[in-house]
Amino acid sequence: TVVPITENFKGRLLAKNTRIKSGDKLLFSKRGILKKIKKNNTHDKKNITYNAIALSNSFFDEEQKHCFVEVEVQIC
């Protein structure tokens, strides 16, 4: 299910892997999965629709077989 984020949002979303740490700055991939912004990489600003801050370390959910992270998403 796709749910548009029209306001600031706090919750658990899909993460690319378990290497995201609390406080990391994140962006959405083309598939809608959060990934860490690398310090020395320049991302194409046209591809950044939302910015998010990790509120927890990412983790792997054994039952659902996906990585998740608690985040705060801000509309940019």
Pull the structure tokens for residue 21: 């740490």
Q: How confident is the model at residue 34 (pLDDT cuts 50, 70, 90)?
A: very high
Cβ(65)–Cβ(59) below 8 Å: no
Q: How confident is the model at residue 73 (pLDDT cuts 50, 70, 90)?
A: confident
> Is the pLDDT reported for residue 51 higher than 50?
yes
* Residue whose C-alpha is closest to residue 27's, from 3, 61, 52: 52
pTM listed for this prediction: 0.77
The 3-class secondary structure across 27-51, one letter per residue, is EECCCCCEEECCCCCCCCHHHCCEE
> Is the pLDDT reported for residue 49 higher than 50?
no
